Chains A and B, each alone.
Chain A
Amino acid sequence: MPSHDLNDDPASLDPSDPFGVSRRTLLRVALVGAAVGAMPSALFAAEDVKPGGTLVIGADADPIGLDPTTVTAYSSFDFTALLYSGLLRWTPDMSIEPDLATSYETPDETTYVFKLREGVTFHNGQPFSAEDVKYTFDRILDPAVGSRLAAYYSGVQSVTVIDPLTVEFKLKAPDAAFLRYLATNPDGVIVPKGVDDLATNPVGTGPFKFESYEPNQQFTLTKFEDYYEEGLPILDKVVFRFFKDQSSLTSALRSKAIDMTWLKNPRVAALIARTSPDLVSAPGQTSRTFPVWLNLKAEPLNDVRVRQALSLATDRTAVLETVLGGAGKVGAMLPESQIGGYDGVSALPNYGHDVAAAKALLAEAGYPDGIDLGDYIVVAANELDVAASQILQQQWAEAGITVALKPMETAPLLDMWVKGTFPTLLSVALSWSPDPDAILQRMSSQSDFGANLGMDDAELDQMIAAARTTLDPDERAALHQKIQARIAENAYVLQIYQYPLRWEIWWDYVKGYEPLAANIRSYVRTTSVDK
């Protein structure tokens, strides 16, 4: 396994990593093949593996569609992650390794030529070839399909089949995000050409194939015998059982009705983990931030001094300690697992807790007696968000800033958030993104979201655009840090803390599993169960 590095990037790691070579380099196929072949056997060697068996996973949401090109719901990703695979994939330490591709070369900054793996078949027996890759991306970019991925791959100019096992991507401009999207499931997975109705009858190249689905009850996958990785998957069956209620989920885990699950609340996860020494609790990397979004279009938050006062009145460490019990870090725009992500301790403008300075700024802005910011809207269903908002309300009150908390149902809240129609303040946590650019775009006035929020900072727009075309990870990280400092300086959004999205927890008879910050459970393929 490569060294553990939170800020790593596919192209930055040690030279033995097949993809960690500088661009314009021809990759040696043999080296890559060896690396891939070595991976599973390394995992086998670690412990005695009992083949077969069934793993039961507790999930809190049903999938909404299983066609990777059209799904929009996170809840579908756990299923697509086992059903489909793409050209590249993430490793547990969030670097990129080959999957259906065995290598790629980049003759210039905007051309990627992928060599594809031989002998891979889809679940329906159809052989995998370059035609499927072209079909997948043509379909994504077809406006009639309405794929959310079209925006991610908008920089792709053409996909050309060179021979059945070689495919060439031409980009319009250098794009640092491209490979990261390709490695992400379901964003970069390949669908079979000529197969319809993937939403209900998924056909992929992944380690497990679809068996049955009873909505709200269970989703069953079986081992794909022709999966290309030797000896994988180990399990015969993977069953997802649905529990919409978090206390039911924890009880189901305790009673071993399920073997593994993930919980939303770190305090609950810690409590459950303490009930038995046989439970393994593995929080992932921090991949998610809790921000307070501000309506920048109208008074009083269009005044930078009011926003800065709000930031100075916030004691982020206190919120973190109280809500997460220390299981997280102070947050900025990018979580630590992203390139140039915030480490939680470096100095950022307006991050020091200073009530007097906040009051002075408010007075200067024309509010010497304090200010009422009206409704602060939070996701009622997210207990962490509600708890954090209550503490923020108290902290702000000390500086003379009052807000009325308004917990709200999720769907209307998202609607307001996307359209920027909330009155002043709104919180909704930002989950993991394949590439930090997707997060930063929210702060660009060039994006719909940023425009709806009332962003109007041409220089910041330019910095964000430049970062996306910077391929060198170190340079890109430096740019990202500058962008985050600028956002904090102007307090366009108040980022409070960062934390892992999932507190995954499982019984120790589940072996060989690795949690992934990428929102999915890819490593069920190397998992075995020894009850």
Chain B
Amino acid sequence: MRRMILVRLALTLPILFGVSIAAFVLMRALPGDFAVAAAGTTSVSPEALAAIRANLGLDQPVWVQYLAWLQGAMTGDLGTSFVTKRPVVGEILPRLAVTAELTLIAATMALLMGAVTGLASARLRGSVDWVVRLYNGFVLAVPNFVVATLIVLLAGLYFPQIRLFNYVPFFTDPLENLTSLILPAFSLSLAVSVTISENTRAAVLEVAGQDYVMVARAKGLGPGKVLRSYLIRNALTPVITITGLQVATLLGGSILIETIFAIPGMGQYLYDSITSRDYPAIQAIVLVTAIIVILVNVAVDIAYARADARVEL
């Protein structure tokens, strides 16, 4: 197992290399660059635009720019933000912490909501099942940014006393920090909780039909014991996989959620950087996100093996 993990980790290097090239080339292939985006409709002469580009090295061929970036990246220097003129690494780390916290809270909420509704739906069936599935269908059809915008607009109009935008760093005031993240995490977790709920339901139903469950019942085990030791444990495997895969969805969702709730995380940073064509920032965020997604996948595999004795790594 240890060897397998090491191999998986070693494989991340070529993946990251590919991701960095793709991000680099794709961003530069997009029409419009930093100089144009920053100028907007201010009248800026072509000479001034050219000077801005030359200053940032954007007048060099793309491969020269890439090699320069790669050289820096090897030594942990991800470049300087075009917008703030500060090193990108210093900009991104505090934001990463914020997004990680938001994602963690959202994942926990999604797991709780999803597991409870899925389990209830599978075990109780009947009208509970109907209500849960109708609710799931509805929520799945509403994108998270719509939920977030509705929360922001309705709270602004009807409950101005709710302090929506008072983001406080964790170390300043942990309680206030958690409070400020509840609504964003909720809008982020909704769609993911539905996926978890549906998968939990399907897994529990499938496990419930297995022979060993029938045997367990036949030998006289109580419903609580059957649920805990047989149903949940066995249904857990697919649920873990799904939750892990949903981390990528949560990270993607955080782009809009953080923008709407004005949370200084990585998602908001990415949104801003793409709009302003801040290449070094985009490059760094894409790289960090890729690392996270890969690591989470490795972690899911390990958890998988822990939960299911049949799986060997």
Contacts and interface: CB of A to CB of B under 8 A. Distances in A.
B47 A143 contact: yes
A250 to B, nearest CB: 6
A146 B53 CA distance: 10
Given A146-B52, A217-B262, 12 more contacts: A73-B38, A145-B51, A146-B48, A150-B47, A242-B262, A244-B268, A248-B152, A252-B156, A255-B165, A275-B157, A411-B31, A414-B37
B32 A247 contact: no
Contacts of A74: 40-42
Contact of A200 (B43, B85, B161, B165): B85
A410 B262 CA distance: 21
Contacts of A409: 32
A412 B37 CA distance: 8
Contacts of B261: 248
What 10 pairs between A and B have smallest CB-CB spacing? A146-B51, A251-B156, A411-B32, A412-B31, A412-B32, A411-B37, A148-B48, A415-B32, A72-B39, A148-B44
Q: Which of B37, B156, B259 has the most CB of A within 10 A?
A: B156
Contact of B41 (A241, A252, A428): A428
B162 interface: yes
B47 A146 contact: yes
Contacts of A143: 47, 51
Interface residues of A, number: 57
Contacts of A256: 160
A254 B160 CA distance: 6
Q: Which of A73, A145, A213, A431 has the most CB of B within 10 A?
A: A73
Interface stretch (B116-124, B214-222, B269-277): B269-277
Contact of A72 (B44, B164, B277): B44
B262 A248 contact: yes
A231 interface: no
B270 to A, nearest CB: 11
B112 interface: no
A463 interface: no
28 contacts: A64-B83, A72-B39, A72-B52, A74-B42, A148-B43, A150-B48, A151-B48, A214-B264, A217-B264, A244-B262, A245-B262, A248-B152, A250-B156, A251-B152, A251-B153, A251-B155, A251-B157, A253-B156, A255-B155, A255-B161, A255-B163, A256-B160, A410-B40, A411-B37, A414-B39, A428-B41, A448-B45, A448-B46
Interface string B276-309: 1100000000000000000000000000000000
Contacts of A30: none
B271 A430 contact: no
Contact of B91 (A215, A413, A428): A215
A146 B272 contact: no
Contacts, number: 171
Contacts of B85: 65, 199-200
Contacts of A145: 51
A498 to B, nearest CB: 15
A420 to B, nearest CB: 12
Most A-side CB within 10 Å, residue of B35, B36, B85, B262: B262
A290 to B, nearest CB: 12
Interface in B13-65: 30-33, 35-48, 50-52, 54-55
A438 B45 CA distance: 11
A73 B32 contact: no
B86 interface: yes
A254 B152 CA distance: 11
Interface in B133-190: 149, 152-153, 155-157, 160-167
B272 A64 contact: no
Nearest to B151: A251
A433 interface: yes
B55 A146 contact: yes
A409 B32 CA distance: 9
Contacts of A241: 165, 262
A241 B263 CA distance: 11
Contacts of A199: 85
Residue of B46, B86, B277 with most chain A CB atoms under a 10 A cut-off: B46
B156 A414 contact: no
Contacts of B37: 410-411, 414
A414 B40 contact: yes
A523 interface: no
B36 A64 contact: no
A431 B43 CA distance: 10
A414 B45 contact: no
A365 interface: no
A247 B149 contact: yes
Contacts of B39: 72-73, 148, 414
Contact of A243 (B32, B161, B262, B277): B262
A433 B43 contact: yes
Contacts of A430: 41
Contacts of B264: 214-217
Contacts of B272: 62, 216, 244
Nearest to A200: B85
B207 interface: no
Interface in A439-453: 441-442, 448-449
B36 A255 contact: no
B260 interface: yes
A215 B160 contact: no
B84 interface: yes
Contacts of B271: 244
B156 A255 contact: yes
A147 interface: yes
B45 A257 contact: no
Nearest to B31: A412
A418 interface: yes
Nearest to A199: B85
A416 interface: yes
A243 B276 contact: no
Nearest to A70: B52
A64 B31 contact: no
Interface string A389-428: 0000000000000000000011111111010000000001
B122 to A, nearest CB: 38
